[in-house]
Amino acid sequence: MLLNLRDYETAAREKLDPVHADFIAGGARDEITLRENEAAFARLRLLPRVLRDTTRRPPARTLFGHRGGMPVLLSPTAFHKLADPEGERATARAAAAAGVIMIVSMAATVSVGDIAAAAPGAPRWFQLYPQPEPGITEALVARATAAGCSALVVTVDSPVRGAGERNRRNGFHDLPPGLRCENMVDLRAGEHGRLRQIVMSPELTWEHIDRLREATSLPVLLKGVLHPDDAREAVRRGVDGLLLSNHGGRQLDTVPATIDLLPGIADAVAGRIPVLLDGGVRRGTDVVKALALGASAVGIGRPVLWALAEGGEQGVRRMLELLREEIDDALALCGVTGPDDLTPAVLFRPRERS
Ligand SMILES: Cc1cc2nc3c(=O)[nH]c(=O)nc-3n(C[C@H](O)[C@H](O)[C@H](O)COP(=O)(O)O)c2cc1C
Ligand SMILES: CCCCCCC(=O)C(=O)O
């Protein structure tokens, strides 16, 4: 029975090639950060208030001009066609139905233009790994802009690709025949959407971000800033938002859970730009905890792919509806009337012994 987001993984594993299930589930090296993301949410305790009339508690929040159905986004994840033949088209329709922003991965198996055609008018952002050749990065930005993406999410935690030992053991190094990274097709001579077209660039610096900001009128968010000093630098340079993310534990292993880093990042940013968070969000109570600690919204990664594998577009729709119900339920039970009513006071802090 599919009662919550975790149930989708169990159901999806019955349908997926185990190698692809490992690709989705896996993290880097010992997978310490992967486990820690969920464990850190579980360690936090909520402390509700009572008798506060929470009859009206719309979960919506406005983010870069978009008023979403709930404070949740679909974090960028690669290769949706591994989960369903419709791939990112199905995900995009489900996101549109739920009124949530889909962040399209640069490594999507449907081009961003075709995703836009599948869900016209729906809000979408584009995730970018800046490429060493400025011309290729510019071409990707042009494709995303033409497809109606209203923000760019630049992933900055990947100077090299994280070491997923499950993939190494399974020999999973590229997409199976017939699938391509469609956004990359024709961008490098002689390559046709193979995974190796996406280059992780250790030479990237803040100057690349400055140049990208000069080249686009879209808001630019950085995904993968973990240190408060880097968050301050991002604000200083005019970056429009942060997606606090450790890549779902897939890049540097043993970094802290994102929810544990959130208070430090929120302090550093001091409300000057929105801070979003992803990593281990599986429950409505996780969403409430992240918002209470200063996140403007949260992203979910793996649950989308599990739901897509379980039931295609309908699977993702049902999963998002379950999450919306859980958020609504958690808001009512906490005694708050919506995301703007959430503060750190809703979290229980055991008294320190003197
Ligand atoms: C299968 C998979 C593919 C991913 N692909 C991308 C990607 O293309 N670009 C990116 O910036 N992050 C990618 N991520 C990281 C997610 O955007 C997100 O940070 C992470 O999944 C959030 O953690 P969660 O899965 O626990 O919700 C991927 C994650 C997974 C599990
Ligand atoms: C060069 C490989 C790009 C793969 C992008 C998918 C990704 O970020 C992941 O975590 O997996």
pLDDT of residue 354: 56
Q: What ranges in the chain are assigned the alpha helix state H?
A: 5-13, 18-25, 32-43, 88-98, 112-118, 134-146, 165-170, 206-215, 228-236, 258-269, 284-292, 302-334
The CATH code of the domain that includes 74 is 3.20.20.70
Site to substitute for ligand 1 among 129, 170, 250, 304, most atoms within 8 A of C-beta: 250
Kindly state if the Cβ of 107 falls inside 6 Å of ligand 2.
Answer: yes
Q: Is the pTM of this model over 0.90?
A: yes
pLDDT of residue 352: 64
Kindly state if the Cβ of 75 falls inside 6 Å of ligand 1.
Answer: yes
Residue 102 CB neighbours (<10 A): 27
Residue 118 has pLDDT above 70, yes or no: yes
ipTM summary value: 0.99
User: pLDDT tens-digit profile of 60-101?
Assistant: 999 999 999 999 999 999 999 999 999 999 999 999 999 999
- Kindly state whether residue 101 falls inside one of the protein's structural domains: yes
- Kindly state whether residue 353 falls inside one of the protein's structural domains: no
User: pLDDT tens-digit profile of 245-297?
Assistant: 999 999 999 999 999 999 999 999 999 999 999 999 999 999 999 999 999 99
- Kindly state whether residue 351 falls inside one of the protein's structural domains: no
Average per-residue pLDDT in the chain? 97
Residue 44's nearest CA partner among 209, 286, 242 is 286
CA terminus-to-terminus distance, the chain: 47
Site to substitute for ligand 2 among 154, 174, 250, most atoms within 8 A of C-beta: 250
Q: Which atom of ligand 1 is found nearest the CA of 75?
A: 17
Ligand (nearest to CA of 24): 1
Average pLDDT, stretch 132-155?
97
Average pLDDT, stretch 228-235?
98
**66 a catalytic residue:** no
- Kindly state whether residue 62 falls inside one of the protein's structural domains: yes
Nearest residue by C-alpha to atom 10 in ligand 2: 250
Residue 339's nearest CA partner among 68, 3, 43, 7 is 68
If one counts the domains in the chain, the total is 1
Asked whether residue 302 is marked as a ligand-binding residue, the answer is: yes
Kindly state if the Cβ of 246 falls inside 6 Å of ligand 1.
Answer: no
Residue 96 CB neighbours (<10 A): 20
Residue the block writes with tokens 């996406």:
198
Nearest residue by C-alpha to atom 6 in ligand 2: 78
Give residue 273's Cα distance to chain centre.
18
Range of the domain at 231: 5-346
- Kindly state whether residue 352 falls inside one of the protein's structural domains: no
Q: Which two tokens stand for residue 136?
A: 């290729």
